[in-house]
Amino acid sequence: MAFWKRSESPQPERPAPAAADDLFGEAFLAKLELLQVIARRLFRGKQRAERKTRKVGNGLEFADHREYSPGDDIRNLDWGVLMRLEQTLVRLYEEDEDLPIRIAVDISDSMSTSGGSKLRYAQQVAAALAYVGLANLDRVGLTCMSRKLHTTLPAVRGKGRIFRVFDFLRTAPRGGPTDMRAACGRLAAESAQPGLTVVLSDFYDLQGAFDGLNLLRFRKHEPVAIQVIDPREAHPELSGLRGDVTLVDVEGGDAREVTLSPAALRAYADAHEKFCQALAASCRSRGIPYFRAETSVPFDELVLRMFRVGGLLR
Amino acid sequence: MTLSGWTWPEILPVFAAGAAAITALYLLRMRRRQVVVPFAALWQQVTRESDTRRLWKKLRRLLSWLLQLVLLALLCAALGDPRPDSWLRDPQTVAIVVDRSASVAGPAAGEPGLTRLDVLLRRARAELAGLGPTDRALVIAAGAEVEVPGPLGRDAAPLLRALDGIVPGPGEADLGRALALARAALAGQAGGRILVLTDGALDEAAGDALATCISGHVSSDSPDAAAIPCQVARAGGPADNLALVAFAARRYPGDRERIEVLAEVHNLGDGPASAVLEVQADGLVVGRQAVQLGPGERRREVLRELDAARTRLVANLSLEPGADPQQLGPPDDDRAYAVVPPLPPFKVVLVTDGSDLFLEAALLTLQEHIQLTGVGPADAASHPSLAEADLVIIDVGDRPLPDPLPPGDLVIFDPARVAPDAAPIRGAGELVRPFLTEQHREHPLLDGVVLKDVNLRRGTRLATEPGDTVLVRSLGEPLVVLRHELGGDGRRPRAVLALGFDPRQTDLPLRTAFPILVANIIGYFEQARPGFVASVPVGPSRPVAAAEIGLGAQDLTQVEVRGPEPADSPSTVPVDATGVFRLRAMQPGIYRVRAVDGAAAGAEVLVAVNQASVAASDLHDRLGELPPAALAGEAAAPVPVRDEPLWALLLLAAALLIAIEWATYHRRVTV
């Protein structure tokens, strides 16, 4: 007897496109202004376009040594090492350049469950980050991605472009399964210039959740992972779910008949927590900033926390 | 079980409809709710363990469905209001007569470790358990005394408690009185029935009473007794039993400081048996002897020359090491008690003309333990002391013998001097100057007596008969003869010693042999007197003569009786004009009897009470074949509840099932 049955083309609940008053209304804009003031105070004294890239070039700050090869500028030869060790090493310097900000929002079906709270939350965080970036005269681009859909807002600069960001987020199509590896690969491929890439997703992709982030890092991006979590999904016992049910994946796939006992619900909550901790541990081991964003926490608090912890904006 | 509410044709459609509805609801319940989740892969990891129990889960669902059907079946059965058949039949009144005689302490057949009484009580409990709510019962315990431990009632609990208190008692079952009591209790009761529970080892009287009850020939003083059926349920077993059927002690007349003990052991079993007989006096072992008896054999053992300072004697039968413990049977007859009785004076009447002073002198020397009365030949036929005499010595010289002769033991000197046929031992001719040539030296009468060279002027040759013992001969002619015969009354045996010479015509009185011969004669007849005082048999009302147990009966109107240790409070018993009182002796042992008033007021004597009954110790079933109608079948099937209707119980069971199902459902056990 097959434990899994093909689901009868379940129709995931799709939230209606949020109205502008709901997503980016007056209250939202007021919070963005407040964020901007706070960000300005935090980043006072910093120069624009001072973000350090991993690119080694003609900057002033020493980065590394490498073997001399013909054609290298002889001025960069480290004479001290040559005299002491009789090795011809070339000094390398970090190159300072303008670093674009790319904000990627996961629009897969898994983000639309529970009334679309996760997607709405991700859009608000993306809009807030974009607003702060634009206010700091950074070049900010947005991408909405899933395995099936991939729409991109080219990088824009200037605070006045924020409404284009709003329109993009509001009108972007949504749906399709989660495939972080494919989505991030496409994102990296279409980004001519690597930069700070903020990925907003629930990362409900057992195989590719971290691979996508690692791929961005491999392509010289500086990824930042923000995992959006609905507490009712992380702790299903809070939703009153129990008994004999058929579980259907929102992104399609096999249906599964299970009996949800309190023990099973606790086991799921534990497994979910372990999954999140494994993702966080993988990110930290490779220097990828990771933030857990629960939809029960107001988005502006999350953004401020990200500012305070650092590593995302400066 | 009978339905007194809805009938099966009415119940079955309801059950079918309910079962269909339950099945439909069950199928609906099997449809699962669809829940859309964002991360099914993680759910798959979590629920992988529960997949392994999927088959069990399906089975549990099936069990849950069956549980609902059982629930429905209980409710439908409640509609039928089922009642056991015993509830619907006519009311019955049962008198359960339990035999608690000594024999029911014997082992039961095929029930190791259980006695016959255990089996009988089990049968009684089964009978009580099968009674319906309108039935009534009473329990009668038939031992030596009849008791009613469980009076007539509907409630089985006090009757069951009464059964717990029934234990085997000594003696035989007084079934006659028990059955009469049962008939009286059932008189006028609807559906009366007597159930006799016995092992069949009954004495003749009990067997007759039971046979009468079974056959319906009951006394006319019970108005409807003929209508009361009487049934018997038996529980027999092995009949092996060694019993002490007699145990007594007596003093030696010539030596009051010594006693003699008699014990009689009877093998009532069907095979040979052996045991050790041990006699204790005041707790000290004074005799021990191994006895081996064949089937049905009875043996007397006498322990002689014991110290008379000890007054309480106990005999025990015990097994030899390795012997079969079933040989001894019930314990009541393996122990017996005895007390050393007082020795009454030996009453000797001397019929003489007063001319034989040597004989009188020899008798006077024995007056410590004899009571000598002299009677002249003229009064010898009618003197009142002759009737009470233990021994009459007739020495009348040339006078004729009294006619008639006293009926008791006799010693006659020269019986055929006047008339050859005047005495039981006739004369066969006169002997002139006989010589005493032959003497039976081993006979106790001649112990230490030397008759050599005794001179006789004349004598009488005695005629002997078969069975006579010739003690002295004169050249082959019998001169002194001892004969045992029936007494003058033709009922009581007696001994007659005839000496074929007149002491006055010999020089024997001048010799030392004469007083020895007289003492031997007195001792011989004293020893021949029974002397052993039989113990009182167990029973509720045993007549005891105060004089026989050594208590002065003069002016005695009350005695105080105290039972064996541990003694209860004493009871006062009236004594009738003849000096006889009734002793309630329900337990073997040594009782104390004290004179409350009369000449012997304050005097206390001991009385031994023993089972000592062959009938009570015989474990054989003596009932024989009974008519089939008299045999009680198996008890009715027990009814789980007595007074409450069963439909209430069914509803209770249904409610209990609902509660269990509800509790387990919420714990995800039955889902």
Alpha helices by DSSP H, listed for B377-467, are 384-388
B59 and B37 within one domain: yes
Pair of tokens at residue A169: 């987020």
Closest CB from B35, B46, B54 relative to A246? B35
Q: A162-171 and A117-135 helices cross at what angle (nearest 10)?
A: 160
Write down the pLDDT at residue B412.
Answer: 94
Write down the pLDDT at residue B530.
Answer: 60
Write down the pLDDT at residue B644.
Answer: 60
Reported as a single tens digit per residue, the pLDDT across A185-232 is: 898 888 877 888 999 999 988 778 888 898 888 888 888 899 999 998
For residue B532, the 8-state DSSP code is: P
Give mean pLDDT, residues A57-81. Answer: 83
Reported as a single tens digit per residue, the pLDDT across B310-324 is: 678 899 999 888 777
Any idea what the CATH number is for the domain that residue B383 is in?
A: 3.40.50.880
Chain A contacts of B34, Cβ < 8 Å?
Answer: 10, 245-246, 248, 255
B148 and B58 within one domain: no
Q: Which of residues 219-258 of A touch B (CB under 8 A)?
A: 233, 241, 243-251, 253-258
Backbone angles phi, psi at A35, to 5 degrees: -60, -40
Reported as a single tens digit per residue, the pLDDT across B11-49 is: 899 899 989 988 888 787 667 778 888 888 888 888 775
The answer to whether B573 and B558 have CB atoms below 8 angstroms apart is yes
> Which of B27, B34, B37 is most worth mutating to test chain A (most A CB atoms within 10 A of its CB)?
B37
Alpha helices by DSSP H, listed for A136-251, are 162-171, 180-190, 209-218, 231-234
B214 and B97 within one domain: yes
* Closest chain A residue to B61, measured at CA: A244
d(CA A223, CA A289): 7
Which of the pair, B644 or A71, is modelled with greater confidence?
A71
- Strand partners for B423: none
Write down the pLDDT at residue B520.
Answer: 92
The answer to whether B599 and B552 have CB atoms below 8 angstroms apart is yes
Count of C-beta atoms within a 10 Å radius of residue B319: 17
Write down the pLDDT at residue B498.
Answer: 95
Write down the pLDDT at residue A46.
Answer: 42
Contact flag A248-B38 (C-beta cutoff 8 Å): no
Write down the pLDDT at residue A16.
Answer: 44
Coil, strand or helix: which one is B141?
Answer: strand
Question: What ipTM score was computed for the predicted complex, to two decimals?
Answer: 0.74
Q: Which of A42-56, A298-312, B394-408, B432-446 has the lowest mean pLDDT?
A: A42-56
Q: Is residue B406 part of a domain?
A: yes
Pair of tokens at residue A22: 């709901």
B574 and B469 within one domain: no
Write down the pLDDT at residue B532.
Answer: 61
Write down the pLDDT at residue B321.
Answer: 82
> Which residues, including other chains, have CB under 8 Å from residue A2's CB and lie 6 or more apart?
none
Burial code (b: 16+ CB inside 10 Å, e: under 16) for B442-465 equals ebebbeebebeebebebbbbbbbe
Q: Which of A278-287, B241-250, B302-311 has the lowest mean pLDDT?
A: B302-311
B523 and B401 within one domain: yes
d(CA B158, CA B136): 12
Coil, strand or helix: which one is A154?
Answer: strand
Write down the pLDDT at residue A199.
Answer: 92
Tell me the average pLDDT of chain B.
84
Domain carrying residue B540: 536-609
Closest CB from B32, B35, B57 relative to A241? B35
Any idea what the CATH number is for the domain that residue B583 is in?
A: 2.60.40
- Rounded to a whole number, what is the distance in Å from the CA of A270 to chain B's nearest CA? 9
B444 and B335 within one domain: no
Any idea what the CATH number is for the domain that residue B298 is in?
A: 2.60.40.10
B251 and B125 within one domain: no
Asked if residue A71 has pLDDT above 80, the reply is yes
Highest mean predicted confidence (pLDDT) among A309-313, B306-310, B666-670: B306-310
Asked if residue B50 has pLDDT above 70, the reply is no
> Which of B32, B33, B36 is most worth mutating to test chain A (most A CB atoms within 10 A of its CB)?
B36
Which of the pair, B327 or A293, is modelled with greater confidence?
A293
Which of the pair, B326 or B502, is modelled with greater confidence?
B502
Domain at A18-45+98-309, CATH class: alpha beta
Domain boundary, last residue among B485, B508, B528: B528
Asked if residue A122 has pLDDT above 50, the reply is yes
Which sequence spans correspond to the domains of chain A? 18-45+98-309, 52-96
Q: Is residue B14 part of a domain?
A: yes
d(CA B623, CA B631): 12
Write down the pLDDT at residue A4.
Answer: 37
B522 and B391 within one domain: yes
* Closest chain A residue to B669, measured at CA: A261
Contact flag A10-B54 (C-beta cutoff 8 Å): no
The answer to whether B94 and B127 have CB atoms below 8 angstroms apart is yes
B299 and B210 within one domain: no
Asked if residue A47 has pLDDT above 60, the reply is no
Put the strands of the sheet holding A222-229 in their side by side order. Answer: A150-156, A140-145, A101-106, A196-201, A222-229, A290-294
Write down the pLDDT at residue A1.
Answer: 35
Give mean pLDDT, residues B161-165. Answer: 92
Write down the pLDDT at residue B358.
Answer: 92
The answer to whether A41 and B92 have CB atoms below 8 angstroms apart is no
Give mean pLDDT, residues B632-655. Answer: 74
Write down the pLDDT at residue B86.
Answer: 66
Asked if residue A11 has pLDDT above 70, the reply is no
Specify the pTM: 0.50
Give mean pLDDT, residues B419-427. Answer: 88
Closest CB from B40, B45, B668 relative to A247? B40
Q: Is residue B615 part of a domain?
A: no
For residue B656, the 8-state DSSP code is: H
Give mean pLDDT, residues B575-589. Answer: 87
B304 and B176 within one domain: no
Domain boundary, last residue among B528, B559, B575: B528
Confidence of residue B645 (pLDDT cuts 50, 70, 90): low
Give mean pLDDT, residues A244-266. Answer: 82
Reported as a single tens digit per residue, the pLDDT across A95-107 is: 655 668 899 999 9
B211 and B62 within one domain: no
Write down the pLDDT at residue A57.
Answer: 61
- Rounded to a whole number, what is the distance in Å from the CA of B50 to chain A's nearest CA? 8
For residue A196, the 8-state DSSP code is: E
Provide the phi-psi class of A258: left if phi over 0, else alpha when psi is between -120 and 50, else beta.
Answer: beta
Confidence of residue B597 (pLDDT cuts 50, 70, 90): confident
d(CA A302, CA A308): 10
Residue A197's closest CA among A189, B91, A63?
A189
Contact flag A246-B46 (C-beta cutoff 8 Å): no
For residue B319, the 8-state DSSP code is: P
Asked if residue B161 has pLDDT above 50, the reply is yes
Reported as a single tens digit per residue, the pLDDT across B543-558 is: 888 877 877 777 889 9
Q: Is residue B31 part of a domain?
A: yes
Contact flag B42-A271 (C-beta cutoff 8 Å): yes
Reported as a single tens digit per residue, the pLDDT across B92-119 is: 899 999 999 988 988 888 888 889 999 9
Reported as a single tens digit per residue, the pLDDT across B183-223 is: 899 888 888 889 999 998 888 888 888 888 888 754 445 44
B597 and B483 within one domain: no
Write down the pLDDT at residue A56.
Answer: 57
Reported as a single tens digit per residue, the pLDDT across B355-367 is: 889 999 999 988 8
Reported as a single tens digit per residue, the pLDDT across A21-38 is: 467 777 777 777 777 666
For residue A19, the 8-state DSSP code is: P
Closest CB from B34, B45, B57 relative to A271? B45
Write down the pLDDT at residue A44.
Answer: 43
Q: Please give the share of chain B, as a percent, with pLDDT higher than 70.
A: 91
Domain boundary, last residue among B238, B264, B296: B238
A278–B contact, CB cutoff 8 A: no
Q: How many domains does chain B have?
A: 5
The answer to whether B343 and B366 have CB atoms below 8 angstroms apart is no
